[in-house]
Structure 1
Amino acid sequence: MSDPSSDVTVASKVSFAELCGLLERIQKMQGNEKKRRVLRDFVEKWRQFHDEVHKDSPNTTDSFYPAMRLLLPHLEKERMAYGIKEHMFAKLLIEVLCLGKESPDAHRLLHFKAPKTARADAGDFASVAYYVLKNRCPDKGSLSIEEVNADLDAIAIGNANKAKDAVRKHMLHLLTNLSATEQKWLIRMIVKELKVGLSQASVLAVFHPDAEELYNVNNNLEKVCRLLRDPKTRAHEIGITVFSPFTPMLGERASPDKVEKLMDNKTYFIETKYDGERVLLHKDGDEYKYYSRSGNEYTHIFGSNAFEGTLTPYIANCFMPGVDKCILDGEMLGYHAATDSFGTKGEQFDIKSRDCVERTGYQPCVQVFDVLLLNDRVLTNTPLRDRLPLLEDVFTPVKGRIIRSVYTSANTNQECADALNEAIDNKEEGIMVKLADSVYRPNTRKGGWFKIKPEYIGGLMDELDLLIVGGFFGVGHRGGMMSHFLCAVAVPPAEGEEPTVFHSFCKVGSGYSKKQLREFNEQLAPHWSVYDKRSPPPHLHLASGFKEKPDAWIPPSKSCIVQVKAAEIIESERFKTGCTLRFPRVEMIREDKPWDQCMTTTDIQDFREKSGGKLTGSRFELGDEVEPAKKKRRKVVTRAVRPTLMAQFQGADTSKVTKMSEVLEGKEFCVINGPSSFPKQELEKKIVEFGGTVVQNPDASTLCVIVEKVAVRVTNLIKKNKYDVVRADWLIRVLESTKWIPWSPGDMIHTTAATEKAFEQDYDQHGDSYTRVTSEEELREVFQRMKNFENIDHSEIAELEDEYFPDDSPFGLFRTCRIYLDSNLVFGDPSTHIPNCPLDLIRLELRFFGAEVCEELNPNVSHVLVSESDLSRIDQLKEVRRVRAKKFHIVTEKWMRACMEEGCICTERIYEP
């Protein structure tokens, strides 16, 4: 390294060539420890040089940051503004180097992945570029690390401002002053893939043992390098500071039956998990700032002082005297003053918008559950049980503006299960459980906090987070835009990586209004590409034969996650997952969730195994997921007894029967039993008399099995599904008419697949023939089979509507809903019917739009509709719901009106009284 100078930075004296030489050596070495040792020597030399340069300036901001941002370019947020990938870089190089577009070098750059044109390093753009540049660049570069960073910053700014001349100028400066080897490493820094075999954790650990921990706190690489430039300084001595954003502590997924083990049988706290957005509130005097989980600032919305914003003016006076500085961790919720309730993300409001209150009635309310800094005291290393009481000394709660989370202490799995069930009953998102002795560890899920939600436990949820990967054009009033969407789940990627492969899972086309669909189409419109089955996108895997081929596809990174609600997961060959959702509908667009956090194929498989495919908001019972132990069967020793048949079950002696007819010629029968007027032996003799043959055990040549009563042997034959089992009455009719009569569905006790298929050609679902004139007696039998027609499964109609009228049938709006109207004082007792109940007319409207209106509050009810004029039975209904395995929604008639106005099923929670 060069001689020190007191008025310069280290980066201005260390050449970029020296850093690239370091990377060359590290890349060629084998073994992680050897690589780390070489890097450690470089860092130590940098620190020694730094001490010499700044020996009289201990508070200098100069640090290892200029080199670190090049060693870990993917952590440098400013560099995210490049927007330069390999193909764009190739075009830029061709332009700057003045290469002919058809020249071999230009072709090599543009097609760097092609083995024939890109030499031995196909796929590695930096190496391919090296071969193109090595004869066009100086042998050794002349730029320092500081100068390279300055050019890169200028390129980033120029690219953001679309200033092509500025970008070209600084690229030309780099190209003419760096060697080909240095250019190779520069390219890798720009595309954020160094490929030297050292992970982010290794590089940070070499610099300082606490570097990764501090980076997780503040997400600021420059700050990490500056604060930890002395290896003797420890991270916990620095702590977090006001107005410096950091990633908050996160929770792992868990199940109630594992809590005792996860907590090591120690005391833990339970709190309700509300469906809001994570927020960190910073206060310093009269100034406030708000940061999201990812470090985005929303102070301009919520307000930086008591005179502006949608929240700060309402909470500025609630802080206790003496609280000058604080950092509070919490959840930003939407509070509806008129209904005195908190909203959910499914209600399609954005609490971060300025006009949220005017448009939706929801005002921001921060629910505080932790305090991390109080005045000048950092509390992150203080146990949770000691931090929580301090919240009472920070602020006074204000209803609908700022509230404290309510914690309960617990020790057992059962207490956790009870809390989860209460959250399910109250339609909450779930619960959080936190170890009482846990300290606050930013940006980690391994600190003793766990989130438990119904969706993490098989059988307790009916909503899934899926990624939109394709679209289908609509018709009619949905023409000209995507009306249905192909949703997929991800193949689980390697640890720490984004998913790259997605399996098609379902097609969804309901749950949104026309306005929402139009806005959603506008959001995705720039990113659609026509689906070409000859060249399908590599990330999207469809079922064999492309049974659900979309009209267009969208890159995962440009798409979004939708929360889909459904009845169950069913088998299906139409989708790559081998299963799909029954009656899916979009609940909400998960704008709070990045595309790479959609559900995976493993998640879907787990749900199917644990819940049998059913998706219901039921209760959790400890032991539900534990398979019962197999009972050992006691071996019973019995003596061999020669079996004999009772006389009525023995075959008839047909040796002396004389053949009288050929009606049954060539047909073989197995008679199990017959009516008292025509017992088994007589039927067998008649069969032989009419030219047929009789066997006692059916085989492949047997036409059918004749039965009057279904006994054990008949049941066993039916289970084999190899034989048609026909009523004895049919055979008697043939014998009495002395002519062959084909079977009809009414003659069958059991049909094989082949016979069933033949019936489908000639008979409807009730056994009425399409081609043969039906007799009065047969018609009566058909009507008898249709006696339960009014109880037909509405889900079958819904499936037909979705298949044949996906865009044009408003009359099936409530088709999948089973609704009980609260018009009785005693549930299900018509004698206590409320006279002139306002819900009587609504009953007709619901049926007109496809709903199944239930006369009793049976276990299949999905909604209970109550009148706003009589809410006297709400508590009673909630008590019934509390103990139900399958939950139902309690809504007022406003919910029905809103659904009809929007043309889709609206989120029920806001309409619950």
Structure 2
Amino acid sequence: MMGWHKERECFSCKGMAFDVKKITENSKFRPCFCAFDILYFNGRTLVGPPEKGGLPLSERLRILDKIFVNVPGVIQHSERQIISQRTIFPDILEALNKAIENQDEGIVVKDVDSYYIPNKRNAGWYKIKPEYTEGTMSDLDLVIIGAEEAANKRQGRAKSFLVACSDGGGPGKTPDRWVLVGRVSTGLTFDERESLCAALERHWVPYRQTPAPTHLYFNKEKPDFWILPEHSIVLTVRASELIRTTGFGADYTLRFPRVMRVRDDKPYQDCMTLTEFNQLCAHKGPVVKLSTNLINGEQMDEIKPRAKRKTQQPQVAEQFQISSTGDVEATSKALLGRKVCILSDDDDCKRPELCKIIESHGGKVVANTGLDTWCCVAGRVTAHVKAVMTARAYDVLPTSWLRALPPSPAPVHPAPLDMLALSDVTRRKLARHYDVHGDSYTELIDEDTLVKCFNKMDDDIPIYLTTQEMLNLDKEIFGDNNPHSFLRPCCVHIRNPESIDAIVARMYGATVLDNTASHCTHIVVPTTIEKNELDNIKKSSNGLISNPHTPLPPPDTGRA
């Protein structure tokens, strides 16, 4: 669907400011349907190779020509020309030069014997544009005066560069101002963009913090960063055409621009002037093609066939493979008849290797957990692994246990200390044989198991009892005669909290205070204390004095 100019009776180009889907009755343009091929006719598909019912282009065009007659500006056949094999290159050159003269985008060369193959490029169809040939385009040397910030900073801070031409000044003099004419972001390799951004990095000025000076004319375009031309670099830019604009500094801007070369060898004063730029657009319409030079036979490069991509058979990614090739011989019965689900693997032992280990012990690998899943195996602790462990629906064993599993003539039963997580069912079964720390009630413990128990104790959340809860526990265990913590109700102040008296008091359950707080029940003083000092302490402490060589009685027997 193209736009047809009612008055000029010609097609418009893409750069004109209109949308063919929004054309109204009062618009200068009219939507015109241009048919260049037919793919389906009277219930029959015409695409694909001949064995699938496809037809060559020549037969499809015969059908297309019989369907309708041209109604100019409403529905038309696309213009085409049949050329012979003997004069193919001169005829293509003539058609391409005619397109340049008519300010067209280019031409499409089609093989009349080609078949329409979906999702296949260059299946007998070739697009030729003037910009593909050196010497046909008017390249522009423009200086960078601004940039838009990139979201990904791997190649630098600039996503696209705002380029300008100079205005005013004379030969050898500094221009009066720099006028923005376009934005360019393509054409640079990864290394070129990275080095260009690195060269300009220390000269970028954030626009929000410091507005650009008046001699940098951006008009309505506001960059994220601006840079002075004397600190900048010239780029050789090639665009397919110039289109009218009201947002940039000039009346025209670049369409489909790309960087052809980084001119770090060219002084910034020698870039394109605004006068030279306006001469390209003089006496032209809303769109100006930059393919101004005709092509001669010597400029046509030999067409080289594209290297075909190597096609690979689709395969399941390694991380999603659930079993090995099936040629693993079971040499052990440690996992005989058990279904194991691998949740994650290790960096040094991938999923296929874990599958082989499971199968060598007589087990079977399943992709997903189910009612008959014996356990899960996890290496790296991912979000999925955490979710399975939190749900407590399945036992989770570490890959280290699986990799260290020795051959066994019978199925093995892992201990609680070997597991990363226990299901509720397994937890209840093992509670009859193991305590909460994983120590067996009946089996002798070895050093490695003891270390694991202690580490588990350190990882467990500690439980802190209140003083009253500890007193109740003492009463329940020892009754009225408590030989171990009879000082638990006492809060004792001792001058030297690191002395042997303080240690003994703590050993019998007392709380040792640094000062005579309001909840202090006893004050311990040495026998050599002066009388005056002792009297002062009695007055200030309401008589809570105890001799260090006299055992502190429980509070219910009286205070010292």
TM-score by length of 2: 0.32
Query: Max radius of gyration: which structure?
Result: 2
| Bigger share in helix | 1
TM-score in terms of structure 1 length: 0.21
